[in-house]
Structure 1
Amino acid sequence: MVGMTGLWNWSVGARIDPGHVQKALAGALERPVAGIGVADPGALLCDVYHVGGDFPTLVDVYLAPDELDEETIASAVAVRLAAAVLVPDDTLNPSRYVCAEPDGTLRPVHVDEVETDDGAERRHLRPCTGDDPACAAHPGCHRSRWKPDPTPERPAAA
């Protein structure tokens, strides 16, 4: 399909009904969204399932549109759901994400992740300050377009 890219994998910071997630995504994209196995040839496919952790709703969007910025759409979905949405960032650091806040704000964060039989569980959200042990363990936080966000108690690493 022209104008389509790969897969968006998000985690939502609340347990949300799959239909509600699909409606929020459809509103943000201004196009139909359907669950896996639903016969709707014009709809974007979206799988929603639940795990444990602080971000218990996992969202997989298949053949996502490449002309739209994933973080922007996640931000619009976060506002519609009134819940934070984690989006993988542009580093190879497995603990680093961009968090779309319920007010639409985007910021870099780290989370602890444990793989379970049901899927990845994410816990312990914290801002990426450049000083987090997760920043030091994997290069890339300072090279990301989502720069670490130093705080007065955690200044940026030199």
Structure 2
Amino acid sequence: MADMDPTSGLWNWAAASSLSEERVHGALAGALERTVVPLGPEPAGEAVLCDVYHVGGDFPTLIDVYLAPETIAEATAASAVAVRLEVEIILPDDTLDPTRFVLARPDGSLGLVHADEVETDDGPERRNVRPCDGGPTGCERPAA
């Protein structure tokens, strides 16, 4: 594992509830079927590192997953964790639109949304989540 690039398996999520580190680690471990440990020394075996911290906004629990397995899609993992935690989770989508995210819902479904993001000293705060309407360019922003 020492020769792996830890950033190749990096996921950055935000949950719509204030959650404890233990609860997030348990849900992630169940979804990935792997040991999940806090950031620290290099984990043994196939363990996944996970940092959980809190900010303001509508998605106050930030979840950073390091050494995420490459055998599972990030959105699939987020969906499984959202079901276990019974809370919405947003994660970046694969476009260059910084306001567009994938929303994993507690029922296991996935959808595209937009959110306003403000960078703070504690981390990114996300507010005003709204559906992506999927216009001709993939997303249409309302006229200002």
TM superposition score normalised by structure 1 = 0.79
Describe the SS at the equivalent of 1:122: strand
CA distance in 1, matches of 2:61, 2:29: 17
Question: Which residue of structure 1 aligns with residue 44 of structure 2?
Answer: 41
**Which of 15, 26, 29 matches 1:12?**
15
Give the counterpart letter for 1:49 in structure 2: Y
Q: Give the letter for the 2:126 counterpart.
A: R
Aligned residue pairs, count: 135
Secondary structure of the residue that 1:108 maps to in structure 2? strand
1:63, distance to aligned residue in structure 2 (A): 1.3
Over 3 Å counting, the alpha-carbon distance change for 1:72 and 1:128 in structure 2 is: same
Q: Distance in 2 between matches of 1:98 and 1:39?
A: 30
In the alignment, the residues of structure 2 paired with residue 84 and residue 52 of structure 1 have an alpha-carbon distance, to the nearest angstrom, of 16
Amino acid at match of 1:109: V
Which ranges of structure 2 fall in alignment gaps of 5 or more residues?
none
CA distance in 2, matches of 1:105, 1:38: 35
Q: 2:55 aligns with which of 42, 46, 51?
A: 51
Measured after TM superposition, the shift of residue 39 of structure 1 is 6.7
Return the alpha-carbon distance in structure 1 between the equivalents of residues 86 and 13 of structure 2. 15
- 1:123 is displaced (CA, Å) by 0.4
2:77 alignment partner, SS class: helix
Give the alignment partner of residue 90 of structure 1, picking from 91, 94, 99.
94
Q: Which amino acid aligns with 2:109?
A: T
Alignment partner of 1:87: what SS? Answer: strand
State whether residues 25 and 36 of structure 2, in contact with CA within 8 Å, keep that contact through their aligned partners in structure 1. Answer: yes
The aligned amino acid for 2:57 is G
CA deviations on 1:129-151 (whole Å, 9 max, x unpaired) are: 035xxx346xxxxxxxxxxxxxx
Distance 1:66 1:41 in 2: 17
Tell me the distance in 1 between the aligned counterparts of 2:114 and 2:100.
4
Q: Deviations over 1:107-129 (max 9, x none)?
A: 00000000000000000110000
In structure 1, give the amino acid aligned to 2:56. Answer: G
Which residue does 2:68 correspond to in 1? 64
Q: Given the alignment, which residue of 25, 28, 31 partners 2:28?
A: 25
Find out whether 1:119 has 2:123 as its counterpart. Answer: yes
Paired AA for residue 87 in structure 1: L
Distance 1:120 1:38 in 2: 26
In the alignment, structure 1 segments of 5+ residues that lack a partner are: 138-158
Q: TM-score, normalised by structure 2?
A: 0.87
